Every structure is written in C-alpha cells, then in structure tokens.
Amino acid sequence: MSGQICVTNGGDRTTENLKLVDQVEYKTGAGQFQPLPGASQTIIPAEQLAPGETKCYPYSITFTPVAGAQYRNSVKVTITNHSGHLGEEWGPEPKADFSLPSAPTIIETDAEADVTDSLSVPAGFTYQYTCCTDPCGPTWPYHLTGSASGSYCVVITNVSAMCDTYYQISNTATLTEKDSGQTRTASASVMVYTGPCEEGCTLTIGYWKTHAGFTGRNPDRVSQFLPIWLGNAGGAKSVPVTTAAQAVNILSMNLGHPSNGITKLYAQLLAAKLNIANGASGSAVAGVITAADNFLAMYDYTAWSSLTKAQQKMVLGWMTTLDYYNNGYIGPGHCN
C-alpha cells in the first residue's frame, strides 16, 4: 500500500517535533479494527511546517493480507506545541478505508536500463560535476542490470546572479528501459540563497521589485524605507510611495496604462532613492534627483503627451542617468 499524507499547519506557530505514524488496521466480521502487526511506518519530516503551510509526505507499507479482512489506513499526526497540550505529542488521527484488488497486478519491466541525470540552474549560475568519493563513483549514464544506486556531486557557482535572493535549482533523473524504451522520471529541487548584498553599492529595479515581500522566499527590503516621495514632499503632483505593493507597481511601470517617459522616471527615481536609503552614496545623481523632484511636483504621468519635445527629452535624460546609477555604471557601483 502506498500513497501520500498531506498535512496543513492550521495554527499560528511553526510546528515542533512534527511526526506522522501511519498504521494499517484490519478487522474480520463485525469485530473492531485493530493494528495489523508490522504494517506501519513512522515519518519524521526534516523540516517543520510554518503557519498555514501544507506539505505532502509519501509512504509505502508492505504487508501480508489477512483472509476475509476489511482494511483502513490510520495516521496519527502529532506535534509537541499543540494548543492545550504543550510538551506532549498531540494531534489528529484521520482514517480512510481501502480494499485490496481481487487479483494482483503484474508489471513487467526490462531487465536492463540506463539512468541519466540533468541539472537545471537559473541564469547567473554555472555548475560542474565532480567526484564525491575517491575513486570516483559510477559514470553517467548509469547502466542498471538490477537494483543499484549511484551518486555524484556538483559544484554550483554564482557568476552573476542577484545577491540577497533565493533561487530554485532542479534536478531530474530519467530511467530508460533498454528494450521497450519506456522512460520514468523523478525530480527534486533545492533553494539556494546567494548571500547578503555588499554595503554601499546600488541595486537594480529588478532587485527592488523582487524584494518587496511578494516573490518566493525573498525578504521585504522595501517597506523599511517608506514613505518615499516622487517629487517634492507635498507637491501638487508629487506621489507619496507608502506601501510595498505600490512600490512594486511603480517599479513595474504598471499604473493602469502603457508606460511613458514619466512612469519610467518614477521607476528609476524610486529605485535610486531606495538605494540611497539603503546606504549607497547618491552624490553622483544628487543634481538629477533634485531636478526630477522639482519637475514631478508639477507634472504627473498623465501629463506626458502634453509635454513639449524638449521636456520629454529632459525627462528621458534624467531617467537614463538614474538607470545608469542603479545599474552601477556611475556612482558607487553595482552590488555583487
């Protein structure tokens, strides 16, 4: 019997000592269900569940059937910080009936197969296979004539990926049977953190968009610096940026209509001010920021089409200078 058990943490605290004990139970006639000896599996997850988090855990139990029996599967899910039962193993015990097929299912497989393995890494990373042991283990593709296992190690290098960011790296193994050509695949993934950013350098619009609390496991680095004004504080057309969600919309130039020079200036100006608030020197663009703020106190993004060609060129010039600053071409340089 095999399947998976999905568990949701419905509390407001991360679980402690999460454990699942899966037990096959049986009964004959009108008797009570009782544990089938030897037909159980204990699962102790490597990671705890955060509030609201759901994870599924596979199980597989082999047992000898009892003639004429009825069956059900019972799983006891316990933690030691359950409300009202602190310090003791406590939790729900759901049950589900199941039946055995009247005849066994026979699955034929080829006597030989090859296993290949591939790694998928995001842009900005390189990887190289290396030996885990001395001498090296099996070479790939790995030829199988029976049950066996093989392993290898990989060195993953960050060459240009964004700092302070979580990336998913996926691995897929493919088994190809020799005669039939039938393939079977299995995948697993791991999150890699690139480490904190250097101090005093600049970060791009892309960094600030993905570090506002809405992208995967990346932390919210924006909210601590808000509010930020685009335009002089209190100006007639100035925009106060007060929330991380508003900041992402501005950085994405998503203001409800096609972007124009002023929405692009908003984005680069906001990123520049976030960089300065984060510790980067803004001396290289201080004059541009002052000029842009003075302008945006009088004009918002709806005014773009009414501007003169000279004004539009001026706005685009400010935007380009701030873009260069945020990307590290001028000023203190870009964070690695």
pLDDT band at 140 (very low <50, low <70, confident <90, very high): confident
Asked whether residue 152 carries a pLDDT value surpassing 90, the answer given is: no
- For residue 12, the cross-strand partners are none
Mean pLDDT, the chain, integer: 92
At residue 147, the pLDDT reads: 80
Cis peptide before 141 (omega within 30 of 0): yes
Q: Is the pLDDT of residue 336 over 80?
A: no
How much is the pLDDT for 330?
A: 96
pLDDT range class, residue 282, cuts 50, 70, 90? very high
CA-CA distance, 131 to 137, in Å (whole number)?
Answer: 7
Residue 267 phi, psi dihedral angles, 5° rounding = -65, -50
Higher pLDDT, 169 or 258: 169
Say whether pTM exceeds 0.75.
no
**Residues 237-245: contacts with CB under 8 Å, at least 24 apart:** 237/296, 237/297, 237/298, 237/299, 237/300, 237/303, 238/293, 238/296, 238/297, 239/266, 239/296, 239/300, 241/270, 244/212, 244/213, 244/214, 244/220, 245/212, 245/214
pLDDT at residue 321 above 70? yes
Distance CA 91, CA 129 (A): 44
Higher pLDDT, 105 or 287: 287
Q: Closest Cα partner for 236 from 300, 287, 303, 304?
A: 300
Residue 239: its pLDDT value, please?
Answer: 97
Predicted local confidence at residue 19, as pLDDT: 95
pLDDT above 70 (res 138)? no
Helices first, then strands: H and E counts in the chain: 5, 14
**Nearest Cα residue to 263 out of 220, 304, 293:** 304
Name the more confident of 302 and 130: 302
As a whole number of angstroms, the distance between CA 68 and CA 319 comes to: 79
Report pLDDT for 56.
93
- Across the range 260-268, mean pLDDT stands at 97
Instruction: Please report the pLDDT score of residue 17 as a whole number.
Output: 93
**Tens of pLDDT along 46-105?**
899 998 899 999 999 999 999 889 999 999 999 999 988 888 999 999 999 988 888 877
Give the pLDDT of residue 307.
Answer: 97
Mean pLDDT computed over 247-259 = 89
Query: 106: which DSSP letter?
Result: P
The per-residue pLDDT for 254 is 86
Residue percentage of the chain with pLDDT more than 90: 72
Residue 208 pLDDT > 80, yes or no?
yes
Q: How far, in Å, CA of 80 to CA of 67, rounded? A: 39
Eight-state DSSP code of residue 217: T
Q: In CATH, what number does 2-98 get?
A: 2.60.40.640
Query: DSSP strand E in the chain: where?
Result: 2-8, 19-28, 34-43, 54-60, 69-78, 95-98, 113-120, 125-130, 142-144, 153-158, 166-177, 183-193, 228-230, 239-241
Taking only the tens place, the pLDDT of each residue in 98-134 is 888 888 777 777 889 999 888 899 999 999 888 877 7
Please state the separation of Cα 226 from the chain's center in Å.
Answer: 25
Q: Where are the domains of the chain?
A: 2-98, 113-193, 205-326
Mean predicted confidence (pLDDT) in 253-272: 92
